[in-house]
Structure 1
Amino acid sequence: MVSRNLLFVQVIALAFSTSLFGGLGEEIRIACSINLEQMSLLMGFSQIGSLVSFLMLPFLSKRIGSYSLLITGIFVSSLSLLGMGLSRSLLFFGAFFLLSTLAGYLYGTSNVMVLINLEPQRTKTNIPLMHLTYSIGGMFSGLYIAYLKRSQWYYGYVQMAALYALLALLFLVFRPQQARTWAKPKYQSPGSGFSLLKDAQFARFLFFLITANAVEYCAIIYPLAYITEVLGGGARAIGSAIVILHGSIACSRLLVIPLLKQGFAAKRLLLILCLVSATGLLLLSFSSSLGFALLCLSLLGLGIGAVNPVSQVLEITQWPQDLLQLANLRSMGSTLGRMFMPLVVGLILTTFSLSVVFLFLACCMILALLVLLRSSF
Structure 2
Amino acid sequence: MEGSGEAFFRWLVSIRRHLHRFPELAFKEERTASFIQTKLSELGWSSRRVARTGVVCDLGAGPPWVALRADMDALPLQEETGLPFASLVPGVMHACGHDGHVAMLLGAAALFRKDPPARGGVRLLFQPAEESGGGARLLIQEGVLEGVKCIFGGHIDRHFRVGEIAVNEGLICAYTDRFVVELSGRGGHAAWPHEAVDAVVAGAYLVTAIQSLISREINPAYPAVITVGRFRAGSAYNVIAERAVLEGTIRTTHAESRRRIHLGLQRMVRGMEELHRVKARIEILEGYPPVINTPRETEIARVAARRVVGEEGLARMPHPSLGGEDFSFYLQEVPGCFVRFGARKAGLENVPAHSPRFDFDERVLPIGARFFFEVAHIALKEAGDAEI
TM-score range, shorter chain: under 0.3
The structure with the larger Rg is 2
Greater share of helix: 1
TM-score (norm 1): 0.23
TM-score by structure 2 length?
Answer: 0.23
